Structure 1
């Protein structure tokens, strides 16, 4: 080993400080998160018309109109969710008028109607102040208004004549507060007043005017109650006093079945209008719960979970529980139940092969033939009409590998305060993905779609098998300080006899029954990721290495593999070699032996080859020369050992040696101040700066 060290170089780093101009744009106030509400309203309200700027609900929140100019939106209950005015009704809504503040316009309205257009009702054209429901703002003309209707407006912009009230003095008027709530009947001419003397000045008659915060980014609660006994509608906004409105149903609507919903409009200013529904009294309150269980004889065992997964070819029991709450507003009618499997690998997870699909303890089919007790649904999940036929189990499970819901089975009605059950036997096949993170388990989804309610539950089912660890029969003892590189393979078998290529795992190991450690593995295959460190292990003893595999996510454990080994010798290294070393200053004109300029001068020898190893360290030099003219120094390096002094020349001079007494031997080369390598300067030496090179040579000498 030879290490040459000469002059140390100086590297200058020049840094440049750059000025960065950061422009921060002001942001609008954030809109508050929506409070708790009904999230599955798809079966309660019809999709917005193409002429409408309203949006489909997302997690139960519907945008009536976006924050853009000249928008007109409307959402309406579907026919099954109409208000039956021959019965009591109550709904609590959450309203948000955006965060446009004083720039907001124009608001929205709660509307009940029996317009012949039904849920296809939409006001096109007109101005923002009409809010998508009122008549003309330029004359007493109710033709643009929604027919046979009642409306409560939430107006966020003042319009001079429209939003005014008479003072009682010579036909003069005064403006209403900017953000106001009021009610009236949009299709009645009596709801409007032309108070102009020269030219038309149209005023909307505002009943029971109340102020509200307007477009403040917050959600506000709006409650509506209809009393059949009193024929009175009572509404309440946040904590304000309630407003009671007697309604002669036949005169206003001409029927007891009325659509209800919201309209909204913007003009040359805008706001984001949103609605969520907290409570609706006439709808079913439903829930479902899908679980897969291990079987315990003929009974249900423990649930299949990540910590208690199924094994390939194990029979399992799927149970779907469907509830209609005691406080529900109605029966859940004509419930279609559908099944979907996510993913494309047809052998992973569980499959239905048992021919025992039962709904409320009644078989759907037997020997693949319908029992005639159940039909398929009459509409699909998009509302398209279907032709029902006698259902079989294949209608429930038949498309489970296509990432789409099956045709489904119509299980009938789930009455108020009742529970229905669907049960079936499943068989576990190949292990589900086992990377232990996002791709764990196989997802199955069941959709329940009935009148006025829709439920959907996604269930992850876990299937795994025991991993297998195999080491090559040929074992090579490792070298000290080098990691143990295992050769072998690990695998995870499937029900179909294949190797599960999705599996990821963890190698567990312990040396000499010490603390267990782990190494993450890649996908199954012939190459193990090992690199087991051997630092600190003795060379002369036999060591025990125990190993086993677990698969990611499930932690199923393979059989333990045990091997024994001895470490081969380690390494001999020269370390801590300085780039620049020197001596104390010299006064020329006399013969001197000069000391080193610091104590941390010579290198360190690290020997991990084991107890009894031998090494020798040599030094050599070609002499020192003056930096200005390369003149040779009169003198040079000498090695002083006791009273003996030897010139350090081109011929290597042994300066240290050792036979180690431990497996891990670290020896710093140190001398007393007047010993070791020193600088001899003769009286004839010239003044100047001298440089040279020391070559350190470390010899690997066999022990005697």
Structure 2
């Protein structure tokens, strides 16, 4: 923050999104990112996640690799290399740098300017950024958008080929001018440069109270700091960034860098030679926007840890002319071992100022690519794209169903942890298609992985064009089904549209397989079947889908039939509440004299519960209560997880000479939640020029905020959203001791009532009553220019960049705070 004697200038403010739960709120389970370790680059390539085949060497339909660039010495290290394929198809990776090769540089750019800043865009990729034998890895790589050609590169080391390059002798320089111009970059920084030490400022003698004769306390030639990864605007407040990290900014913009001078010893270019010198030296720190701390280098970290990591970059264009767009990057949002989405709270949203790209009139598209470098420390920098920007955005799902015992035309979905009895007819349905993007999803084929316990007998393909017939009459050739060497899974390649299906718009296709569950189980424990991941791979995007894990139970025993009711009982409750769930079922022996011996064996999400005698849990629901074969099984709320829960039952009776076990049946109990779904991430206010007239001002939100409340509570449940804050402070990225803004966040409701947000009271921001269905409501959608959350600044506010955090809370009638 820059302080002016006259309080007049530009003020910018941003609030971070945070949430705490008071009462009941939906807390998505975050999957463990500690996946398979690959200690070498070769191993990482062999075990790479499935992506799009990009080409080989420097030959690609998508990329240009200029082997030499005027601003870099030597040869471009970037290359396209073959990678392993979980789908058994072609796969490749971009290699930006290689472990053991010091002072290397790499850059690779899209052939065309295809990232359209006027439309929503998405890039989805896997990255591997790790060394091999050294504790130090470096320096990292960056995903870059830029409005220029393919022959651009800034410099090695901490510049990573995209950021500015400080003078090697620490002379004063325009660092931004040496960066890639008209660009935005997202860095994956594996070598925190601030750990080299922050230059020590000069001291002054006791007899020099006016500080006229500085005494140098730092030698720039000997200690040679690299200081991009340092927080703080002034020497006295600077602190080092010690961890690997992900962050973004505009490389060619001067506001990205902060200059600090130091009177010290060092070397200087004098009379055509480098000589010892005592005087002013200059070093530069870099402002890290959307900072994500990924921990230390090595296994305890979350970036340079010898693992593949997924990141999705989602761009949202401005909603008003001259407004700003936004970029959300979400890290570790897919499982490297399966390719499937997982919940991640490791994300940031930053504003995108289109003026930084210096677009021509009518231009909206820019080039995209990767840059990277090594210095004294080296590493393998690899990128696998599963969805390319400017191409297609895609999705895929898999559903397993078993035939209903009472109606052969009805199939019931088998959820994770569920069961299927041996011999029962099953149906596997794979649905995949295009959701968005600038290009069609091209030449898509499928490689299906099927649980080994299913005997697949036939299959059909439903194409987007219902009238289309392929060369096999839209039938799946199940003769191509093979079993893995260890017998744990089956693979079935499916060629679509006689060589590859192309889909446009929101077209989807479906593959349906029919078969039976193998009769493998010999006792009530059953045989566990693992989840299996299938891949749908095109030339410009790939998606994956996973079947649930389930158990094959013994074949239905005619001596003891069992079932559950889908319309009776209490099958939906609120997670965290006091209400019990209740599953109603029936167990009927062919020999009615055995009824008194029947024992019910329940399990919840695969965890066995205490068995119950049928006679002890006989239903009280009329008219079923008049029969001894119906039961009520009550489930305490604390045994349920948020969302769908699989409750399974089997029954037994034992006469001493004859032990009979029924098939296993399932019921689904839903534990409803309420919580934030999609949000805008960091939310910004409009940059405002202070008037300097001693009057307060109210600053409105920049663009539209999105605060979606996802509600799956039971009907008529009431929820409320409240908010509080510690206020706005000078930008914490660059200030060690935060300075509060003279002002506060306010909330104005539709009636015009204004409330100041503070750290103690929590005013009501929104409320709702659940319908009993799953709904999503943007509580900020109705905010107008004079309502919702805004920023009121006082007469003594000074120009600068400010930030703060709003803590959102949920309160509900089920579990009151």
TM-score range, shorter chain: 0.3 to 0.5
Mark the structure with the bigger radius of gyration. 1
- Which is bigger in relative contact order (C-alpha 8 A, separation at least 6)? 2
Taking structure 2 as the reference length, what is the TM-score of the superposition? 0.34
Taking structure 1 as the reference length, what is the TM-score of the superposition? 0.39
Q: Which has the higher strand share?
A: 2
